Chains A and B, each alone.
Chain A
Amino acid sequence: MNFFRRLVCTARRRSPWLFHMNSGSCNGCDIELIASLSPRYDAEQLGVQLQGSPRHADILCVSGPVTRNAAGAIETVYKQVPCPKAVIAIGSCPATTNVFIDSPTLDGPLDRHIPVDVFVPGCPPRPDAIIRGIAQAAAIVAERRRTAEGSGCTTEVEA
């Protein structure tokens, strides 16, 4: 049993699949996230893959200060990611709403809506920092239980 537990931990740590969500970002952090997968930084060495569907992902990467429009969508997408999962807030916007603070169009920062595990600050953060954040989030996912009581980790499916 112990062996299987360790195998699962290793597999989760070494295979973080991302789903990227823009919640009103200026695109700066989005570009840096893509750059971390590009030939110069090559996050695929860590097993990182950018997935098209939140159902396939382990880690939800959110950029942007969370506009009012995006708030509901973020909660929906967070529920669609299967457990165990982690959330990375990429850039200063989801952490503090940055220069947009006190704007009437915002409903941020991000941790008012979903629990955030790793903050990667910067405006925008460097790809190295994003990759470090992904590695930390993957280590967090590896230690999490599939059905964590108390952590409120649920996965919703339609039908």
Chain B
Amino acid sequence: MTQTIALSASTDALLRLLVFPGLLFAVPCAWFLVWLERKAVARMQQRIGPPFMQPFYDFVKLMSKAWPRREELSGAIMSFWPLLAVASAAGAVGLLPVLPNSGGFAGDLILLLALLEMPSMCLVAAGFSSRSVFAEIGSVREAILSVSYNVVFLLALVSIAASQHSFRIEALAQSSASPLRWLGVAAILVCLPGKLHLNPFSLSNAEQEIYAGPLTEYMGPELALWELAHGLEWVAATGLVATLVVPHFGPAWLPPLLFVAAIAIIVLLLAFVAAATARLAIDTSVRFYSRCALVFAAIALVSALWIGGKL
């Protein structure tokens, strides 16, 4: 009996990772989001922008390019990072409760946060293992930026979870929204441009300025995997916000549709910010996020005292 339950649980987990909302759903969704972002930026610059299938064509083309041949161990390590990034980003998407009553376990929010952070850490490691000067500069910038936005990001999520007394994503998705939750969502939204390397926090992969940042030495199929990991990061990060914002109600087919609509709106918002701003320098970015943490912490403290005083 317990074996059957364990087996069904593991099949369930595998289905979530590989089919829905994991790879089979998340990969087209990632391509759609990447296209939407490029198209939205193009429309805001009064251009027509790339065709709908563009991210798919980019992926197929990169997959069909020449394999880099690197014999030594450092080459094998270099090829390992994009695989790890794709796997962890896909795992993060697989944990999102897109369907109502989709299970999950106590503390899966912590696992989601760790998986969300993995692609960025892989990027830092990849930049250093490729031994290019430009990649190393990009990696250092990415590491510093990641430390600074994660203070805001993690505090926001911890405060949301603590206010609902649960570290389970499903429970957070189903509980009713409180003022503190909206504050937390706002703080997470501020962190997303940093997490997704968008303007004004695009300094880690600052194109032209430091060639291509940490990915300067990557090419062909490995680069395709990096692009895929970045797309999946889009789905996971915007999906986390969508989970916290969109309530679960109505028939079973409605929440996935609402989920996709919500992430599309968040992507449009991010694209608007990206098109309207220029790249900030590293000290300005770090200062921005440290001030952000202060402001949000102050508002949260005041609101907690106010609500606590009223009760």
Contact = CB atoms under 8 A, between A and B. Distances in A.
Contacts of B219: 55-56, 82, 155
Interface residues of A, number: 28
Interface residues of B, number: 44
B151 interface: no
A15 B54 contact: yes
Contacts, number: 106
Given A14-B57, A56-B223, A157 B51 contact: no
A42 B220 contact: no
Interface stretch (A45-53, A91-99, A118-126): A45-53
Contacts of A11: 56-61, 64
B123 interface: no
Contacts of B60: 7-8, 11
B141 to A, nearest CB: 14
B38 A84 contact: no
B216 A82 contact: no
Interface in B216-239: 216-220, 223
A103 to B, nearest CB: 29
A152 interface: no
Nearest to A9: B64
A56 B61 CA distance: 11
B50 A45 contact: yes
A107 interface: no
A8 B60 CA distance: 6
B42 interface: yes
B232 to A, nearest CB: 19
A47 B54 contact: yes
A50 B51 CA distance: 17
A8 B58 CA distance: 10
Nearest to A44: B50
B51 A52 contact: no
A113 interface: no
B45 interface: yes
Interface stretch (B90-98, B104-112, B166-174, B207-215): B207-215
A15 B61 contact: yes
Interface string B37-79: 0100010011111110110111111001110111010110010
Contact of B131 (A44, A52, A82, A159): A159
Contacts of B209: 52
B66 A82 contact: yes
Interface string B185-219: 00000000000000000000001111111011111
Contact of A159 (B48, B51, B61, B75): B75
A50 B211 CA distance: 11
B288 to A, nearest CB: 24
Q: Which of B42, B47, B216, B218 has the most CB of A within 10 A?
A: B47
A146 B49 contact: no
B72 A8 contact: no
Q: Which of A10, A53, A146 has the most CB of B within 10 A?
A: A53
A51 B216 CA distance: 10
Given A11-B57, A15-B61, A42-B47, A82 B208 contact: no
A55 B217 contact: yes
B61 A58 contact: yes
Interface in A116-159: 146-147, 155, 157-159
B220 to A, nearest CB: 5
A39 B58 contact: no
Given A15-B61, A45-B49, A52-B212, A155 B38 contact: no
Nearest to A14: B57
B70 A56 contact: no
Given A51-B207, A52-B211, A159-B70, A12 B61 contact: yes
Contacts of B218: 55-56
A83 interface: yes
A12 B66 contact: no
Interface of A: 7-8, 10-12, 14-15, 39, 42, 44-45, 47, 50-53, 55-56, 58, 82-84, 146-147, 155, 157-159
- The 6 residue pairs across chains A and B that have the minimum distance between CB atoms: A11-B60, A53-B212, A52-B207, A55-B219, A52-B212, A42-B47
